[in-house]
Amino acid sequence: MKKILILIISIISLFYIYNNSYKKETIIPDEAIRFRVIANSNTIYDQNIKVQLKNVIQNKIFEITKDANTIEETRNIIKENMPIIDNLVKNTLKNLNYDKKYNINYGLNHFPKKEYKGINYPEGDYESLVITLGDGEGDNWWCVLFPPLCLVEADESDVSDAQYSFFIKEILEKYVSSK
């Protein structure tokens, strides 16, 4: 009887976990500006360049937009500072001895559908600042500049740092391991 009860609880738990925990849909507000850096490739070198550039540009963008209260203010600040951002990208890549081309685009950019840490982000064209390094065939990093959600980062190369714990699973493990 105990084995049947454990089996039933396990099946219900797995069903619950699959249906409720991993397929959440998150909607980024319509009034949002994204920031994305796309690596040339997935080599360690290219991914490292992406991260270093992202850090420099993200810090600069935070500095210049920190007092913006609306999407329009943020949009205008980014547009006015595009030459500074471009110069910063150029100088940062030069300092990193990175000799591949790069492209910066501010406007509507296509983002593919992405599932990250159990959250689905819909495919679509979004207002964004996108920096593409080289051929742009590597994993990308992105965040939301406005509203300022860059503290909630999404880096495709880092998908295993979330750990999920479920009460029923813990009870089952405790019960089974005590036998």
Note the pLDDT tens digit of each residue in 148-159. 776 434 444 443
- What is the H or E stretch that residue 155 is in? strand 154-155
Residue ranges of the chain whose pLDDT lies below 50: 5, 21-23, 151-172, 174-176
The percentage of the chain sitting over the pLDDT mark of 90, rounded to a whole number, equals 51
* pTM score, whole prediction: 0.69
Give, in order, the Cα–Cα distances in Å from 66 to each of 59, 94, 148. Answer: 10, 27, 9
Distance CA 163, CA 159 (A): 10
Average pLDDT, rounded, for the chain: 78
